[in-house]
Each structure stands twice: as C-alpha cells, then as structure tokens.
Amino acid sequence: MFIRPFGYERAGSLADACEMLRERGEAAKVIAGGQSLLPMVNLGLVQPEVIIDISHAGRDDDGAAARGGGAVPGGAVPGGGRSGSDRAVAARSREIGGGDGYLTIGALVSHARLAGDPAVASAQPLLAAAAARIGNPRVRSRGTLGGSLAHSDPAAELPLAMVALGASYRVTDGRSARDVRAEEFHLSFLTSALAEDELVVSATVPALGPGWGWSFQEVARREGDFALAAVAVLVRMAGGIVAEARVAVGGAADRPLRLADVEAALAGASPGEIAGRAGPLRGLSPVSDISASAGHRAHLCAVLVRRALDEACRRSQEATA
C-alpha cells in the first residue's frame, strides 16, 4: 500500500492540539505512540491530510511546538502560547496517581509503564495484567493508554479492563473538560464518544477493595496478537458465597460488554455453583473473520468466563483468609 503524503504538526499542549483539530477538522488525526494510527495508515484504512503529534505535550524540556515540520522560533506556540493551566493538564496526562480509593492514569502513560508500575500493580492489578498482554515489548513501550481508549477497538485489552472496572475518562476540548463513563465512551467498532476536537486526558478507576479477587483471560492465535476473545472479572466473596461480581467480555461484540445477567445470577453462589449460575452468555454478537468464526468466539467467551470466575473467586478467598 502506498501511503499518501500528509503534513505533520507538533502540539505543545493538549489545548493546542484541540485547537489544531478544530482548524483541520476531519482531515487531521492525532498521534502519541502511533501503535493504533500508523498500522491503519499503512493499510490505507485512514488517509489523514495532517497528523498532530501530542507526544511532546507539556514537556518542560520541549518549549517549542513545531508545525509543518519546522521549529517555532523562541519556543513560542502558534496561537498565543501555552498557559500554566494548559501545561498542568498536559503534565497530568503523563502521571499515575492515587487517593481516596481511586487510581488516575494519564493518557500519555505507556502500556509498559502501566504494566510495570508498582502503584498500579498494588492498587488495581487487573489493569496491570491487561496492559501486560498488549502486543509485544515494542508496542507496549510506544503505545499509550489514551491512544488505546480513543481507538476503541472492541478486542483491545485496556477498554475491556476499564469497562469491567467501571472507569471514567476525563476528556477535554482545550476549553473545558468532562467526564465520561467507560461503558458510555466505547460506542461501536473503532468509534468512541469523543467529539472531533476532544482528547482523552486521563482515566480513573477504583482501587481494588478488601476481599476482591480478579482475573484477566484472553485467547489469541499467537502471543501479542489481537485477542479472539477476552474476559475481565472481579469477584468479592463473603461467607463462602459471591457477594458481588463484575464480568466483562471483549472481542464478542462491537464494543466491550458488561454481562449484567451473569453478574446478577452469580449473587449468592458458592464456588461449586458458579459454573452453573454463569450459564449461557446472552447479548453477545461476535463476528466471523479469517481468524475465527462467530460461533468459535462465543465458545471461547464462555470458557474464559468460567476460568476467570474460578481464578477471581480463589483470589478473593485468599484475600479474606
């Protein structure tokens, strides 16, 4: 595939990038790590007229924003420069922080950092486990949380984990910000609730509470390939029975799905009753492609849900022992 020539602009802040998006409209695409966008460009699925690079947004050692490939004299940002608040927002997009029972991860945090950060592993190990399953070391070192969420691939690990955890995303258009629940953000295949001039700033997830167990399971043709099916589960056992459960599947519909029927059926189940209570998985609509048939994907989801529930229940019991 021959790639059509495109322009390049480098944003000094997220607000700058949003303004560039308003100026360019649908002709512009945003890049941070490039692990979602560039494969689509290479395949000819996306043909941007200009790519806006946010990978340097907010860096103190990068005072200049480049547009059209040239440096801006004196470090000034076209359109009036960056305010302190713009720089603060951009800085937060690179941070991992926690407090009051929640963990907040900036959109420019790489998958590798997310998978290996001790604070993430301690506060929400499901999220760290999901990040560790993404692609290969090269992809994890370059790809970013915000890029994966905005790309909204229904088979991707991080959107699935976020839906299971009940996460919320902070998004901005450079002038104001809003919070969007993960389940309301991922709308369909490669389609999100982002407006044309909005970017993801961060994601906030609840920390793993006392007595909760978790599991992340997926099946792919090869390690690092896109998942044929994936499952994220959290379970809290109390008195030897399931008190609460959260079950989500990926790769089985046009977006990550919470299985509310399964969650309700599991309430009050003992470990020996869990497989029977989970029953048939309703609401799935997998598609057939060259990797797997729809029926095979549905079967994989059912098997992975049972495996994940077993592991999550075991971890919950160990946590309360």
Decide: 211 and 319 in contact? Cβ < 8 Å.
yes
Please tell me which residue, 264 or 88, carries the higher pLDDT value: 264
Q: Note the pLDDT of residue 72.
A: 26
Q: For residues 249-255, give the mean pLDDT.
A: 93
Whole-angstrom distance, CA of residue 128 vs CA of residue 284: 26
User: In the predicted model, is pLDDT for residue 73 greater than 90?
Assistant: no
Q: For residues 272-295, give the mean pLDDT.
A: 90
Mean pLDDT of the chain: 90
Whole-angstrom distance, CA of residue 145 vs CA of residue 121: 16
Core vs surface per residue 218-234: b (16+ CB within 10 A) or e: bbbeeeeebbbbbbbbb
User: In the predicted model, is pLDDT for residue 70 greater than 70?
Assistant: no
Specify the CATH class of 212-320 in words.
alpha beta
Whole-angstrom distance, CA of residue 66 vs CA of residue 26: 20
Q: Note the pLDDT of residue 89.
A: 76
Q: Note the pLDDT of residue 59.
A: 73
Q: For residues 90-112, give the mean pLDDT.
A: 93
User: Bridge partners of 235?
Assistant: 213, 245
The residues near 293 (Cβ < 8 Å, ≥ 6 apart) are none
Assign 48 a pLDDT band (cuts: 50, 70, 90).
very high
Q: For residues 259-268, give the mean pLDDT.
A: 96
Q: Note the pLDDT of residue 43.
A: 87
Torsion of CA 143, 146, 148, 150, to 10 degrees: -140
Q: 92 is written with which tokens?
A: 């937060």
CATH, domain 7-68, list 3.40.50.1820, 3.40.50.12140, 3.40.630.40, 3.30.43.10: 3.30.43.10
Please tell me which residue, 285 or 168, carries the higher pLDDT value: 168
Decide: 3 and 41 in contact? Cβ < 8 Å.
yes
Rounded percentage of the chain residues whose pLDDT exceeds 70: 91
Q: For residues 162-190, give the mean pLDDT.
A: 97
Q: Note the pLDDT of residue 2.
A: 65
Q: Note the pLDDT of residue 65.
A: 39
Assign 1 a pLDDT band (cuts: 50, 70, 90).
low
Whole-angstrom distance, CA of residue 99 vs CA of residue 96: 11
Assign 60 a pLDDT band (cuts: 50, 70, 90).
low
Digit-coded pLDDT (tens) for 209-236: 999 999 999 999 988 888 999 999 999 9
Scanning 133-266, the segments in alpha helix (DSSP H) are 137-142, 145-151, 157-165, 182-185, 260-266
Look at 57-71, 100-114, 176-190, 214-228 and tell me which has the smallest mean pLDDT.
57-71
Assign 197 a pLDDT band (cuts: 50, 70, 90).
very high
- Give the single-character DSSP code of 110: B
Q: What is the CATH number of domain 93-206?
A: 3.30.465.10
Q: Note the pLDDT of residue 79.
A: 36
Please tell me which residue, 73 or 290, carries the higher pLDDT value: 290
Q: Where are the domains of the chain?
A: 7-68, 93-206, 212-320
Residue written as token pair 């008195």 = 239
Element (H, E) at 311: helix 294-320
Assign 58 a pLDDT band (cuts: 50, 70, 90).
confident
Residue written as token pair 């994966």 = 148
